[in-house]
Chains A and B, each alone.
Chain A
Amino acid sequence: MKALGLSAVAVVAGLAAFAHTGEAKAAGELTLCWAAWDPANALVELSKDFEKQSGTTMKFEFVPWPNFADRMLNELNSGGKLCDLLIGDSQWLGGSAENGYYVKLNEFFDKEGIKMSDFAPATVYAYSTWPKGSENYWALPAMGDANAWVYRKDWFSRPELQAEFKEKTGRDLAPPKTWEELKQTAEFFQGRDIDGKKVYGAAIFTERASEGITMGATSALYSYGFKYENTPGKYDMQGAVNSPDAVKGLEMYKALYKCCTPPGYTDSYMGEGLDAFKSGQVAMMMNWFAFWPGMYKDENVGGDKIGFFVNPSQVVAASTLGGQGISVVANTDNMDGALAYIKWFAQPDVQKKWWQLGGYSCHTAVLNDPSFKESQPFAADFLVAMGQVQDFWQEPAYASLLQAMQKRLHDYVVADQGTAQEALDKLIEDWTEVFQDEGKL
Chain B
Amino acid sequence: MSDTPVSRLANRAAAATPQPLARRVRGLSDRAIAWIFIAPTIVLLLAINIFPLIWTIRLSFTNYRANRPNEVVKNVGIDNYTRILGDEDIWLAMQATAHFVFWTIVLQTIIGFALAWAIDRKFRGHALWTTIILIPMMLSPAVVGNFWRFLYQPQIGLFNTIVSVFTGADPSSFEMLGTVDLAPWAIVIVDTWMWTPYVMLICLAGLRSIPDYIYEAAEVDRASPWRQFWTITVPMAAPFIMLAVLFRGIENFKMFDMVNLLTGGGPGSTTEVASITLKREAFEKWRTGFSSAFAIILFVAVFGLANIYVKALNRVKSR
Contact = CB atoms under 8 A, between A and B. Distances in A.
Contacts of B266: 208-209, 266-267, 410, 414-415
A208 B261 CA distance: 12
A410 B177 CA distance: 13
A70 B175 contact: no
A252 B153 CA distance: 26
A264 B284 contact: no
Contacts of B98: none
Given A263-B154, A407-B268, A77 B286 contact: yes
A415 B264 contact: no
Nearest to B89: A407
Contacts of B66: 77
Interface in A413-441: 414-417, 437
Interface stretch (B67-75, B226-234, B311-319): B67-75
Using C-beta atoms within 8 Å of the partner chain, give the interface range for chain B.
Answer: 20 to 34
B7 interface: no
A400 B285 contact: yes
Contact of A208 (B89, B155, B265): B265
A262 B268 contact: no
Nearest to B153: A264
Interface residues of A, number: 36
B175 A266 contact: yes
A106 B58 CA distance: 40
Given A263-B154, A415-B268, A417-B268, A403 B285 contact: yes
Contacts of A368: none
B269 interface: yes
Nearest to B179: A266
Contacts of B89: 407
Contact of B36 (A4, A208, A266): A4
Contacts of B268: 208, 407, 410-412, 414-415, 417
Contact of A267 (B69, B173, B178, B280): B178
Interface of B: 36, 63, 66-70, 89, 152-155, 157, 172-173, 175, 177-178, 180, 260, 263-270, 280, 283-287
9 shortest A-B CB distances, which residue pairs?
Answer: A415-B268, A266-B178, A411-B268, A263-B172, A263-B154, A208-B266, A209-B264, A264-B154, A415-B267
14 contacts: A77-B66, A209-B265, A263-B172, A263-B175, A264-B152, A264-B157, A264-B175, A266-B177, A403-B284, A403-B285, A410-B268, A415-B270, A416-B180, A437-B63
